[in-house]
Structures are given as C-alpha cells and as structure tokens.
Structure 1
C-alpha cells in the first residue's frame, strides 16, 4: 500500500532518552538502582505524558519519597540532560522526507511543558507537518485511542501511514489498526526501510 504519511516517535528515535545513564553519572549506579527500586519514576513520568503538570508532579513525588528528594527533583531540573543527544541521521531522514514532499507527523508520549522546553533545544521538533503529543491529547501509546485520534485528525487512511517507534508494543497497537510499522532499532535500518518503500533514494537516505 502506498505510503502517504510517515509518523515518527521522538524518544529514542529522534532524541536519545536515557534517564538511568544520567543518574548513574550524577549519583552513581548503586544509588540510582536503589532509588528506581523504591520509586517508579517512569510511571510518574507517564502521568506527565498524560498531561499532568510537570513540575508539580515531580515535586509531589519528591515530597512523597523524602529519602530520595534531591534525586527525584533532578527529573525536573535536569530533564534535558536525560533527553540528549539528538540522533542526527534520524533528523536527516525527517528532513529528507519533507524535502520530497512527504507528509511527516510526530506521535510521541511527551509532557506538555517538557515538549515545549525540548523545542527550544531541538528546533527540528517544529518541522513536522502535524504533531500528536500525548500530554495535549490526554492519553498515551499504546492505548488505541491515541492512534484513533491521529487518524481522525490527519485525514490519511491507516493503511497509508508508516510508523516508526522503538517500542514493540507501540508498533503492535498501530499495526492492529492497519498501519504499516517499523520497529526502530537504529537509524540505518529505518533508512533502509524508507528506501525499500520508495520514499527516498539511497543517496537521499544517507546510505
């Protein structure tokens, strides 16, 4: 089926997302493991991704777990250091697709405030034709509703959407709705898929 729009996840597709690495560098692996065993920071961040206020949510968690107060507050104050660096080849593929006239959308689990901040550090986040950010939508992948909302808004049939994401459950939820999917395991494999689909030449894809 001909692809009419390409849909990018952001975290670990266009921008590296690795809180554990940052905490290991800042507080040491042992302390980080102790904290993550006691505090489900990723689940707390999921609430931010659903639209809860970023700072207040993290500050409440810090209050709830006083033994890790300073470390939990890093999730807010040092968030951008957990979301870096960009993945240059993926950014180049995004831009190459747009240069060919292909519609390019973002579909990402991302908080409202954190996404606004990320835009100031990563200008390519403003370059999508449409952006579907979970914090604004009130639901997250892999819930089927977020895919349904994108379909209803973009005007492209699900079978003509090609979606890349680094999490298999998010791809599975999309393909269950008829989308074409690609599990992102690195920009080279994604580039090859775009070439195989006839969306880019090998030169355009940097291969």
Structure 2
C-alpha cells in the first residue's frame, strides 16, 4: 500500500463538493416537468453549458441558443441570471474529508469544468474552495475534462507526479480520463464511500 499511497489528491467540485442542479433554477420559470426537461436537454442543455466551461462567453452562448429558439429569450437568459439557485449548498461530508486531508498535510488541489465567472462567484459563496493549494478551472484555460490536455496542464501547473496523484470526480468519463493520463482515480458516490476509498490507499480521512 505504501508504494501506491498518493502524495497528491485532486478534487472535482460540482456534485463532489457542492450541489449542482439546473432544474432548481427553472422550476418556477417552467413548472411543467416535461417542458422543463425539454428545455434543459434541448435548449440550454448540458452540452450547451459545457461550452461555457470551455471558455465561451455567456453573451455568445445566449445568442447561439436564442438563434435556435427565438421564442425563449427570457428563459435562456435566466440560466446565467439564476445560476446561484443551481448551487444551493455544499456537501458537508466530502468537504470535511477534503479539509481533513489538508489539515493532515496532504497536498490537495482542485480540477474542475467550470465557467470562469461562475467559479469566481462560487468561491465567494463557499470559502472552503480557497483552502486547497490551487485549482485548474476549465473556463480559464479553455480545456475541459475528460480531454487529456487538462490533466497534463494540471500536472505541470502544480508539479505533480501523475502516478502519485489521486483524482476524485462524480463523472465516470472524467475518472477514466484521469486514469488514461496516468493518474489514480476514484468515482465519487458519497462522502462515506470516498472516505473508505481514501483509507484503503493509506490516507487520513476524518469525517465531520
């Protein structure tokens, strides 16, 4: 175990440290479940939002969506205006795990698919995001997970040894992307499962 014990732990943010759900911002705007699901899968979809994570400015994103659906201007613009409603709270358990690692002297950084401006907003709301040594934000460097480049940039930026780096993400494809880049990686399901996964690798994981 000691030979494979990670020296660096890298956390994803959305759905690992903070909750994210676009439906929360649209239940009042689009009360009908089927209509809301259509909007968030076809108009302001995950793929559409991912381009903001890749660095596309919000005005350009809104213009693109409005060109496709000119009858939904206000609904489209509400995505950015109401973004704060999509991230209502942190996951206290996994935050406690992360802070416990930091307090124990483990090198902790973050690697996230996040638009640059909404990440800045998130750090103002969730102070614990400032505790790790640093973060790679996809919208800032214009690279996204699970593409290999973002993992390599993070390694270079923080002088990590990939083989001694453990990545934690809620998306299987991003976990696989990290492994393809030579990292260790675990799929995040819950704080309890994360604590078990880390303990198995010889890391200290006090839970709050």
By how many angstroms is 1:62 displaced?
5.1
| Gap regions ≥5 residues in structure 1 | none
Q: Which moved more, 1:24-33 or 1:93-102?
A: 24-33
Contact in 2 for aligned 1:5/1:162 (Cα 8 Å): yes
Alignment correspondent of 1:19: 22
Alignment match, 1:3? 6
- Which TM-score applies when normalising by structure 1? 0.91
Structure 1 residues 59 and 11: alpha-carbon distance in aligned structure 2, compared to 1, 3 A threshold: same
SS of the aligned residue for 2:27 comes to helix
Q: Is the 8 A contact 1:62 1:73 kept in 2?
A: no
Write the distance in 1 (CA, Å) between the matches of 2:199 and 2:90: 22
The two structures, once aligned, show a CA RMSD in angstroms of 1.6
Q: What pairs with 1:14-53 in structure 2 (closer than 5 Å)?
A: 14-28=17-31, 29-53=33-57
Residues 44-193 of structure 1 mapped to structure 2, 5 A cutoff? 44-54=48-58, 56-61=59-64, 63-64=66-67, 65-193=69-197
Paired residues in the alignment total 203
- State how far apart, in whole Å, the 2-side matches of 1:26 and 1:12 are: 23
Contact 2:22 2:86 in 1 (8 A): yes
Deviations 1:103-123 (A, max 9, x none): 101000001111011111111
Normalization by structure 2: what TM-score?
0.91
Shift in CA distance, 187/26, structure 1 to aligned 2, threshold 3 Å: farther
**Aligned residue in 1 for 2:198:** 194
Deviations 1:53-76 (A, max 9, x none): 23x134314532222222111110
State the alpha-carbon separation in 1 of the partners of residues 174 and 164 from structure 2: 17
Q: How far did 1:47 drift?
A: 1.3
Unaligned 5+ residue runs, structure 2? none
